[in-house]
Amino acid sequence: MSSAHARPTVARMSGYTPGEQPKPGERVIKLNTNENPYPPSPRVFEAIGRIGADALRRYPQPLADDFRAVAARVHGVLPDQVIAGNGSDDILQIALRTYCGPGDVLASPDPTYSLYPVLAELADVRFVTVPWAPGWTLPADALLAQQPKGIFFANPNAPSGTWVAPRDVAALASRTDALVLVDEAYADFAGESCLPLVADHPNVLISRTLSKGYGLAGLRFGYAIGQPAIIEQMMKVKDSYNCDAIAIAAACAALDDQAYAHEQWARVRDERERVTRALAERGFDVIPSRANFVLATLPGGRPAKVVYEGMKARGVLVRFFDKPGLNDKLRITIGTPDENAAMLAALDASL
Ligand SMILES: Cc1ncc(COP(=O)(O)O)c(C=O)c1O
Q: Provide the pLDDT for residue 18.
A: 84
Q: Provide the pLDDT for residue 22.
A: 87
| Bond from prior residue into 42 cis (ω within 30 degrees of 0) | no
What does the pLDDT average to over 32-46? 97
Q: How far is the CA of 206 from the centre of ligand 1 (A)?
A: 13
What does the pLDDT average to over 310-316? 96
Q: Provide the pLDDT for residue 26.
A: 86
Report the percentage of the chain scoring pLDDT > 70: 99
Q: Provide the pLDDT for residue 232.
A: 98
Residue 15's alpha-carbon distances to 118, 132, 242, in angstroms, are 6, 24, 21
8 A C-beta contact, residue 129 and residue 108: yes
Half-sphere exposure of 172 (CA within 13 A, CB side): 31
What does the pLDDT average to over 265-291? 97
Q: Provide the pLDDT for residue 15.
A: 86
Report the percentage of the chain scoring pLDDT > 90: 90
What does the pLDDT average to over 46-70? 98
Instruction: Find out if CATH 3.20.20.140 is the number for domain 3-39+259-350.
Output: no
Report which protein residue has its CA nearest ligand 1's atom 12.
185
- Domain ranges in the chain? 3-39+259-350, 42-257
- Each residue's pLDDT tens digit, 317-337: 999 999 888 999 999 999 999
Residue 42's alpha-carbon distances to 38, 73, 257, 269, in angstroms, are 11, 21, 9, 21
Question: Domain 42-257: which topology?
Answer: Aspartate Aminotransferase; domain 2 (3.40.640)
Q: How far is the CA of 30 from the centre of ligand 1 (A)?
A: 16
Q: How far is the CA of 204 from the centre of ligand 1 (A)?
A: 18
Q: Provide the pLDDT for residue 292.
A: 98
pLDDT band at 1 (very low <50, low <70, confident <90, very high): low
8 A C-beta contact, residue 234 and residue 216: no
Angle among Cα 97, 226, 81 to the nearest 5 degrees reads: 110
CB within 8 Å of 294: residues ≥ 6 apart:
161, 272, 275, 276, 279, 286, 287, 331, 332, 334
Q: How far is the CA of 89 from the centre of ligand 1 (A)?
A: 6
> Does the structure show a pLDDT above 80 at 345?
yes
The atom number, within ligand 1, closest to the CA of 157 reads: 1
The amino acid at 188? D
The atom number, within ligand 1, closest to the CA of 34 reads: 14
Q: Provide the pLDDT for residue 149.
A: 98
What does the pLDDT average to over 195-214? 98
Q: How far is the CA of 211 from the centre of ligand 1 (A)?
A: 7
CB within 8 Å of 11: residues ≥ 6 apart:
3, 4
What does the pLDDT average to over 41-47? 98
User: Taking CB atoms and a 6 Å cutoff, what residues make up the pocket around ligand 1?
Assistant: 34, 87-89, 113, 154, 158, 183, 185, 209, 211, 217, 222
pLDDT band at 8 (very low <50, low <70, confident <90, very high): confident
> Does the structure show a pLDDT above 80 at 3?
no
Q: Nearest 10 degrees: CA dihedral of 205, 210, 211, 213?
A: 100
Beta 204-209 vs 222-225: how paired, if at all? antiparallel
Q: Provide the pLDDT for residue 24.
A: 87
What does the pLDDT average to over 42-61? 98
User: Dihedrals φ, ψ of 61, to 5°?
Assistant: -60, 125
pLDDT band at 40 (very low <50, low <70, confident <90, very high): very high
Average model confidence (pLDDT) across the chain: 96
H runs (alpha helix) in the chain? 8-12, 42-49, 53-57, 65-75, 88-99, 115-122, 140-144, 166-174, 228-237, 245-256, 258-281, 304-313, 337-350
Q: How far is the CA of 337 from the centre of ligand 1 (A)?
A: 24
C-alpha span between 190 and 182 (Å, rounded): 14
The atom number, within ligand 1, closest to the CA of 221 reads: 10
> Does the structure show a pLDDT above 80 at 153?
yes
C-alpha span between 210 and 252 (Å, rounded): 10
C-alpha span between 275 and 286 (Å, rounded): 10
With the most atoms of ligand 1 within 8 angstroms of its CB, the residue from 113, 194, 242 to mutate is 113
Considering the entire predicted model, what is its pTM?
A: 0.97
C-alpha span between 223 and 229 (Å, rounded): 16
Strand partners, 207: 183, 224
What does the pLDDT average to over 54-63? 98
Q: How far is the CA of 315 from the centre of ligand 1 (A)?
A: 24
8 A C-beta contact, residue 47 and residue 253: yes
C-alpha span between 204 and 172 (Å, rounded): 10
The closest alpha carbon to 136, from 325, 327, 334, belongs to 325
8 A C-beta contact, residue 38 and residue 336: yes
Q: How many helices (H) and strands (E) does the chain have?
A: 13, 12
